[in-house]
């Protein structure tokens, strides 16, 4: 199977481990990746300034995917996934907007039909590949490991636009963990935001929100936190020292992308999964596994 992938900005500029691990694990399930030629920003950063421009940027990328013959598009970033989902929603709902955007696309020699299928990493692995196939492929089960998951906001809400998982009781990331042999521990703060949306405008508030979540996770004495969003990974992983200074706590919680854990269970070398790029103590996971 071949699938197109839109990487977005953060994965290609700071969260390389997400891309590296996806490129390693997907071929293990017979899936090849096609990158979108001449892709640009998804539009999220200017959404609150000019919504039409943000929608146009998203639609333009989707039009580029269609031009490349891509019918199904994997969007690993939660923010980009929401941006594209919103653009598809408004494209189909608003005929006036559709004509305006169609004229802008025509200036670049592009057109968009709106029939492209969007996938996020979580539902692509869970629904398209399937937990049973993943379970069968596991070579080194993560038996004895206990993790908590953080699905993130933008693949769950607004539920009228995105449909990756149940917005009230998301379980797909947990099911994917169980397919690796690990235990997924439920906790009441599971749906709480990482704070990333406030980082640029209200940094102290953002770090406080992340700190409250990390304090709750620390009290559970789990092996680590599993995420599938680059922004969440930064807030809950890379910024643990800054977060700890705000909330008066020291954090040493391993934070990993699910695709990295999947790769370890498939016996892919840690460096090939970008684990050396993680800015949290993931060496604890590797040591326990070996």
User: CATH number, domain at 255?
Assistant: 3.40.50.11810
pLDDT tens for residues 56-76? 999 999 999 999 999 999 999
Strand partners, 93: none
Strand spans (E) along the chain? 2-5, 32-35, 72-74, 117-119, 146-150, 183-184, 224-227, 255-257
Structure tokens, 290: 């070996």
Query: How does the average pLDDT of the chain come out, rounded?
Result: 97
Question: Residue 26: CB partners within 8 Å, gap ≥ 6?
Answer: 3, 32, 33
Question: Residue 70: CB partners within 8 Å, gap ≥ 6?
Answer: 3, 4, 34, 36, 116
Q: How confident is the model at residue 82 (pLDDT cuts 50, 70, 90)?
A: very high
CA 290/CA 226 separation, integer angstroms: 19
Residues 161, 92 share a domain: no
pLDDT tens for residues 101-151? 999 999 999 999 999 999 999 999 999 999 999 999 999 999 999 999 999
What is the extent of the structural domain holding 222?
131-289
Per-residue pLDDT, averaged over 174-178, amounts to 98
Per-residue pLDDT, averaged over 238-258, amounts to 97
- Would you state the pLDDT for residue 253? 98
Per-residue pLDDT, averaged over 271-288, amounts to 96
Structure tokens, 62: 């989707």
Residue 214 in domain = yes
Per-residue pLDDT, averaged over 192-200, amounts to 94
Please tell me what DSSP assigns to residue 161: T
Please tell me what DSSP assigns to residue 112: -
Strand spans (E) along 93-237? 117-119, 146-150, 183-184, 224-227
Asked whether the predicted pLDDT for residue 290 surpasses 90, the reply is no
Q: Is the backbone of residue 236 left (phi > 0), alpha (psi -120 to 50) or beta?
A: alpha
In total, the chain counts a number of residues equal to 290
Of 119, 150, 183, the domain-final residue: 119
Q: Give backbone dihedrals phi and psi of 109, rounded to 5 degrees, phi first.
A: 75, 25
Residues 271, 138 share a domain: yes
Residues 229, 87 share a domain: no
CA 255/CA 272 separation, integer angstroms: 17
Task: Record the pTM.
Answer: 0.97
Which percentage of the chain shows pLDDT scores above 90?
99
- Would you state the pLDDT for residue 195? 97
pLDDT tens for residues 113-126? 999 999 999 999 99
Residue 63 in domain = yes
DSSP secondary structure of 1-27: -EEEE--TTHHHHT-HHHHHHHHHHGG
Residue 191 in domain = yes
Asked whether the predicted pLDDT for residue 200 surpasses 90, the reply is no
Residues 166, 104 share a domain: no
Strand spans (E) along 174-244? 183-184, 224-227
Supply the Cα-derived Rg of the chain in whole angstroms: 19
Please tell me what DSSP assigns to residue 127: I
Helices 78-93 and 95-107, packing angle to 10 deg: 110
CA 126/CA 202 separation, integer angstroms: 35
Residues 102, 139 share a domain: no
Domains held by the chain: number: 2
Residues 93, 230 share a domain: no
CA 52/CA 173 separation, integer angstroms: 33
Of 87, 119, 151, the domain-final residue: 119
CA 35/CA 154 separation, integer angstroms: 23
DSSP secondary structure of 266-282: TT--TGGGTGGG-SS-T
């Amino acid at each position: 199977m071949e699938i197109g992938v839109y990487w977005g900005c953060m994965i290609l500029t700071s969260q390389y481990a997400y891309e590296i691990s996806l490129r390693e694990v997907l071929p293990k399930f017979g899936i090849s990746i096609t990158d979108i030629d001449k892709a640009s920003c998804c539009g999220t950063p200017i959404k609150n300034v000019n919504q039409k421009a943000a929608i146009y940027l998203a639609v333009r990328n989707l039009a580029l995917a269609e031009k490349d013959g891509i019918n199904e598009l994997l969007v690993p970033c939660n923010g980009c996934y929401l941006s594209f989902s919103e653009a598809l929603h408004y494209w189909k709902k608003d005929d006036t907007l559709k004509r305006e955007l169609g004229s802008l696309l025509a200036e670049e020699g592009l057109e968009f039909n709106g029939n492209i299928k969007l996938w996020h990493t979580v539902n692509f692995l869970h629904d398209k590949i399937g937990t049973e196939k993943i379970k069968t492929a596991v070579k080194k089960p993560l038996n004895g490991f206990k993790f908590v998951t953080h699905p993130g906001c933008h693949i769950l809400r607004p539920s009228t636009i995105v449909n990756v998982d149940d917005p009230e009781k998301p379980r797909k990331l947990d099911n994917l963990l169980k397919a690796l042999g690990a235990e997924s521990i439920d906790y009441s703060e599971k749906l709480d935001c990482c704070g990333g949306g406030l980082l640029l405008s209200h940094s102290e508030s953002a770090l406080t929100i992340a700190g409250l979540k990390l304090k709750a996770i620390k009290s559970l004495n789990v092996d680590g936190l599993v995420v599938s969003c680059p922004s969440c990974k930064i807030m809950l992983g890379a910024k643990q020292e800054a977060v700890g200074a705000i909330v008066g706590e020291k954090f040493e919680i391993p934070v990993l992308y699910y695709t990295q854990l999947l790769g370890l269970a498939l016996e892919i070398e840690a460096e090939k999964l970008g684990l050396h790029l993680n800015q949290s103590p993931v060496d604890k996971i590797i040591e326990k596994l070996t």
